[in-house]
Structure 1
């Protein structure tokens, strides 16, 4: 990976995030506040937090949508461009494409064979156990990147473990987590989705749903987890909902990017764009030549704290 190049990828956030700056948890304070209590249940010590491109990465796709095949989708349709970027930049850790619908294909980490009525919390539990069995119980940490509902699955995985809920593993080691276009405060159009499809997952993505009330604001693994949320004004589904959790870093892309929409923001790997970026507790910074969403996400996974 070209580390020097990444360090110059200044990316940025929307002015609205200035009102969210208070109450954020930095990576250092999150680790201090939450790490000891969780680590007490571990059988192995948590590895140190550091800047690295050799972490395993879990790529978690989103909801199938009203117009798509009801049984599943191709994970490479969601993450093919992102996977190629990570490979081109010599990311040496394993890259896992997460599947959870019965008909999902080309997903090397198949955590479930569910459908749209499988709750997001249940998928978070399945993901947490997959990470624990393959990495955490061996003392190895991972990174997570989720698009749309996939970001909620990541959030649910760490929340359930942190709260020691039944069926979740005893601990997790997740160093960094990034969400792209994730409805942390719900999707306005999910009301239509619920009326049209009446699925559990649509209901759980409605604003003020029981699931969203349950999901942690800044859930932490035993290692301490550094969260980044990424959103765009061109995503007409979400508006500001993609910034609606207490993350350590926030990135917002201004409107006017041709061809951008909710469904493909996680496929944008090249180009420079107007954006605002925020490292809490500092305020947002404008950059007229910020990195593309997937490159910004990779940057966030590389750096252990500020970037």
Structure 2
């Protein structure tokens, strides 16, 4: 009888331990699946502001109008990172002296807390320095850097005139603001990032876009590193026009594995829209 009692006690203890384990371990949900289409939420991330502020809605007015006119069904959101910003869907109260790694942390946590942890995937269109924010956000999240979220789900990223290889313009104001110093060629910030564009937990399809007539970011810097798709324009398109020109055709070329010939192709904003829709060649 005593042996039976001890055996029963052991069995009950084991069952209780198993039940506690099941209650305390939450299985990770599967990442969202990739799909072509225009239903994702798109977050637009602006570039550097010499004045220390942007109107987020005005900055991406042309692009967001174009997406909407073309039937985009997902929300078209904006992420800002200056305290002086206005009309942003979300604003981090930083300044020109806020390091890009810090802004990247804010962006990653915004994406995670509002969307990724709810199993909602995102697309991102970033202009100029904003592309470095997104690149650092995905890299440090995947690396597990302290302060970054456990993961994010970002399906597609398109960067327009982003200084992936740095910009000499950043050198001219590096003594004034940290963000300029971060954009200098071979800065500590840029050297900390791998040359291959990083992935979110679900994988991320990158398209980098540059222009030979961009007076701020060179045509080589705008596509520096390795992305799934690289696009160059050679038709008089300036740095800011990369985020505003939405119609017409322009002399350009695209690289998936090898460069295409120079032909008249879609505008930069339309290129970004297509990059959000398709995983394959755009």
SS of structure 2 residue aligned to 1:212: helix
> 1:305 offset after TM fit, Å?
2.7
Bigger relative contact order, structure 1 or 2 (CA pairs below 8 A, ≥6 apart): 1
1:247 aligns with 227
Among candidates 51, 55, 58, match of residue 40 of structure 2: 55
> 1:155 offset after TM fit, Å?
0.4
2:276 aligns with 301
Residue by residue over 1:112-149, the C-alpha shift from the partner in whole angstroms, topping out at 9 and shown as x without a partner, is: 11100001111111111111111111111100111000
TM-score w.r.t. length of structure 1: 0.80
Alignment of 1:149-298 (within 5 A): 149-195=129-175, 198-216=176-194, 217-239=196-218, 240-255=220-235, 257=236, 260-279=237-256, 281=257, 283-298=258-273
Alignment of 1:118-137 (within 5 A): 118-137=98-117
2:16 aligns with none
1:9 aligns with none
> 1:50 offset after TM fit, Å?
1.2
TM-score w.r.t. length of structure 2: 0.87
Residue by residue over 1:264-283, the C-alpha shift from the partner in whole angstroms, topping out at 9 and shown as x without a partner, is: 3211111100101111x2x1
- Cα contact 1:174–1:224 (8 A) shared by 2: yes
> 1:263 offset after TM fit, Å?
2.5
Q: Distance in 1 between matches of 2:162 and 2:117?
A: 28
Q: Point out where structure 2 has 5 or more consecutive residues left out of the alignment.
A: 1-25
Residue by residue over 1:166-215, the C-alpha shift from the partner in whole angstroms, topping out at 9 and shown as x without a partner, is: 111001101111100000010012111224xx211000000000110112
Among candidates 76, 82, 99, match of residue 95 of structure 1: 76
> 1:90 offset after TM fit, Å?
1.1
C-alpha RMSD over aligned residues: 1.4
2:20 aligns with none
- Cα contact 1:151–1:180 (8 A) shared by 2: yes
Residue by residue over 1:245-297, the C-alpha shift from the partner in whole angstroms, topping out at 9 and shown as x without a partner, is: 21000000014x2xx32133211111100101111x2x111242200001001
Residue by residue over 1:44-92, the C-alpha shift from the partner in whole angstroms, topping out at 9 and shown as x without a partner, is: 2111111010001010000002xxx33x111123100000001101111
2:22 aligns with none
SS of structure 1 residue aligned to 2:77: strand
> 1:228 offset after TM fit, Å?
0.5
Q: Would the alpha carbon gap of residues 125 and 42 (structure 1) be closer, same or farther in structure 2, given more than 3 Å must change?
A: farther
Q: Would the alpha carbon gap of residues 108 and 42 (structure 1) be closer, same or farther in structure 2, given more than 3 Å must change?
A: farther
User: Is 1:44–2:21 an aligned residue pair?
Assistant: no
- Cα contact 1:44–1:138 (8 A) shared by 2: no
**Structure ID, larger Rg:** 2
